[in-house]
Amino acid sequence: MTNFFFEMIDTPAPCFFLVAGPCVIENFDTTFQIAKTLKTITADLGIPFIFKASFDKANRTSVQSFRGPGFDQGLSILADIKSRLDLKVISDIHLPDQADPAAQVLDVIQIPAFLCRQTDLILAACRTGRPVSVKKGQFLAPQDCKNILDKAAFTGNPHIAITERGSSFGYNNLVVDFRSIHILKQMGVPVIFDATHSVQLPGGGITSSAGDRQFIPTLAKAAIAAGAHGLFMETHPDPAKALCDGPNSMPLADMTPLLTTLLAIKKAAATG
């Protein structure tokens, strides 16, 4: 059976797929407008698109940080947006018992980086039969992802992808080793690059994570040139006012020119 993620880019023209949206569901209106804008942009550019927004950010730095509307309300919002805009949607789960009800709404289930070694969570997500994207933990070497893939294979679900999002580099910093894209591809798995969390400075704001969004385009270009199958990006109309991960979110107004450039790089890399 063909992997869902490979199917998304099974087109004659060199392309990548995009997973994008706000870090967290802030409210219906903002989330809907971001989804609508991204659908228009990706349709115009011919980029396969999955809309991403979290219903609960369970790994926030501070107990005071905004986490989102929660499981039930968040899934309801995603279901409404999915129906109105005819979109595929993805969100992350944190507990095994969330897998089955989430799979009733989500087209793709995401496993957060901090939870990528949680066997019961991975098994529960994969047993739903939904495609599953596992974020590679900041503490893992790319070779370690073979164990994640073995867990997924144990369930018989072939629709698995690994998302590279940088590795811990001292305190409050991440660095991306682009060799990991090649290493992961050698495992026969679709590879997604998270261009926004890779510029995060975990805990760098003391009671929150910081980030440096100026480097998002640079890392995204490098990842596409290195052969990533998909790109993950968090985006917001006004990142300075975003309730979560604003410092490492891409301004929504800048998405079209960046994606246009990335398509040109993908084409050049495919023919070079």
pLDDT one-digit tens code per residue, 183-211: 999 999 999 999 999 998 877 665 556 77
> How is residue 111 annotated by DSSP?
E
**Tokens standing for 71?**
């499981």
Domain ranges, ordered by start, for the chain: 16-271
Q: What is the pTM of this model?
A: 0.94
Do residues 130 and 108 lie in contact, with contact meaning Cβ atoms separated by under 8 Å? yes
Within 8 A by CB and 6+ apart from 160, the residues are 3, 126, 131, 132, 133, 134, 149, 152, 189, 190
pLDDT, greater one: 63 or 256:
256
pLDDT of 220 > 60? The answer is yes
Rounded percentage of the chain residues whose pLDDT exceeds 70: 93
CB atoms within 10 A of CB 66: 15
Q: How far apart (Å, rounded) are the C-alpha atoms in residues 245 and 38?
A: 18
pLDDT for 212: 87
**Tokens standing for 13?**
């023209």
- 16-271: CATH architecture: Alpha-Beta Barrel (3.20)
- The values of phi and psi at residue 52, to 5°, are -120, 135
